[in-house]
């Protein structure tokens, strides 16, 4: 009896997982309007009545699907805290950095970026899921803080915030197909280097550089005026 019951529970779990994944796929492809009981069941390869067996409303199904996906994403982000920082730091030269960035983008193709961006945006628009979306973003930020600190970056919190915003922008750019992937990798490295160097420059030096740039610009305009 016990093995049969366990088999039934496992089958039920697999069906529920299939429904959740199908709901996310439909949401990414067509938004919330594409997520219907019939469409989800068909995408999961299950009978039409299966969704109502597990979820009382389509809103409950979609909300649970987005939450489930984000929880898995958070777990993935947390696992990245154990990344080989010394190995990463050995790739600081320009050519190696671009090669490394290219390999990372290859592991997370544009379709993956589109999926994650769509899910987090969808959750952020739902008052009941907004806190989950915030947790996803802050978890990514916390992971970056740990990695940057282990890499010897002082006061990495602000830099981590900037990097999370940049990563979201890269996901949007890749979703739109603005650049070829090798070009995107080079631009990612350039932006990351700029952010890190800018972070390492103290406020006084940075302010003086901006003032010098301002003075140069004003002087240039003054020379060009009649």
Which residues lie below 8 Å from residue 173, measured CB to CB, with a gap of 6+? Answer: 179, 184
- Can you list the pairs that 88-93 forms with residues at least 24 positions away whose Cβ atoms lie under 8 Å? 88/147, 88/151, 89/151
Q: Are 110 and 12 part of one and the same domain?
A: no
For the stretch 75-104, pLDDT in tens is 888 887 777 777 666 656 657 788 878 888
Q: What mean pLDDT comes out for the span 57-73?
A: 93
Domain count within the chain: 2
Q: Are 49 and 77 part of one and the same domain?
A: no
Q: Are 37 and 80 part of one and the same domain?
A: no
Residue 222 domain flag: no
Rg from Cα positions in the chain: 23
- Tell me, what CATH number does 11's domain have? 1.10.10
Mean residue pLDDT across the chain? 88
Residue 65 domain flag: no
Residue 36 domain flag: yes
Q: Are 50 and 124 part of one and the same domain?
A: no
- Count CB atoms within 10 A of the CB of residue 191: 15
Confidence of residue 49 (pLDDT cuts 50, 70, 90): very high
Give the pLDDT score at 8.
83
Q: What mean pLDDT comes out for the span 181-202?
A: 91
Residue 63 domain flag: no
Give the whole-angstrom CA distance, residue 177 versus residue 105.
13
Q: Are 160 and 94 part of one and the same domain?
A: yes
Give the pLDDT score at 65.
95
Give the whole-angstrom CA distance, residue 131 versus residue 213.
41
Q: Are 108 and 47 part of one and the same domain?
A: no
Given a cut of 60, whether residue 225 has pLDDT beyond it is: no
- Quick one: what percent of the chain has pLDDT higher than 90? 61
Residue 144 domain flag: yes
Q: What mean pLDDT comes out for the span 192-221?
A: 88
Domain of residue 117: give its range. Answer: 70-217
Given a cut of 80, whether residue 210 has pLDDT beyond it is: yes
Q: Are 89 and 156 part of one and the same domain?
A: yes
**The 3-state secondary structure of the chain, one letter per residue:** CHHHHHHHHHHHHHHHHHHHHHHHHHHHHHCHHHCCHHHHHHHHCCCCCHHHHHCCCHHHHHHHHHHHHHHHHHHHHHHHHHCCHHHHHCCCCHHHHHHHHHHHHHHCCHHHHHHHHHHHHHHHHCCCCHHHHHHHHHHHHHHHHHHHHHCCCCCCHHHHHHHHHHHHHHHHHHHHCCCCHHHHHHHHHHHHHHHHHHHHCCHHHHHHHHHHHHHHHHHHHHHHCC
Residue 163 domain flag: yes
Q: What mean pLDDT comes out for the span 130-152?
A: 91
């Amino acid at each position: 009896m016990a093995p049969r019951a366990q088999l039934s529970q496992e089958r039920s779990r697999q069906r529920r997982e299939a429904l959740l994944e199908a709901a996310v796929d439909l949401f990414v492809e067509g938004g919330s309007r594409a997520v219907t009981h019939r469409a989800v069941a068909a995408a999961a390869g299950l009978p039409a009545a299966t969704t109502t067996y597990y979820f009382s409303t389509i809103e409950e199904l979609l909300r649970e699907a987005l939450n489930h996906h984000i929880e898995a994403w958070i777990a993935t982000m947390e696992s990245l805290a154990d990344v080989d920082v010394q190995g990463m730091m050995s790739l600081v030269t320009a050519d190696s950095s671009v090669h490394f960035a290219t390999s990372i983008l290859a592991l997370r193709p544009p379709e993956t970026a589109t999926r994650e961006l769509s899910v987090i945006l969808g959750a952020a628009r739902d008052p009941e899921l907004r806190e989950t979306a915030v947790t996803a973003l802050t978890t990514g930020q916390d992971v970056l803080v740990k990695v940057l600190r282990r890499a010897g970056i002082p006061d990495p919190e602000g830099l981590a915030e900037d990097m999370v915003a940049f990563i979201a922008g890269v996901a949007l750019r890749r979703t739109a197909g603005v650049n070829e992937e090798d070009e995107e990798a080079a631009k990612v490295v350039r932006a990351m280097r700029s952010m890190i160097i800018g972070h390492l420059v103290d406020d006084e030096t940075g302010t003086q550089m901006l003032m010098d740039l301002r003075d140069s610009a004003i002087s240039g305009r003054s020379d060009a005026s009649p």
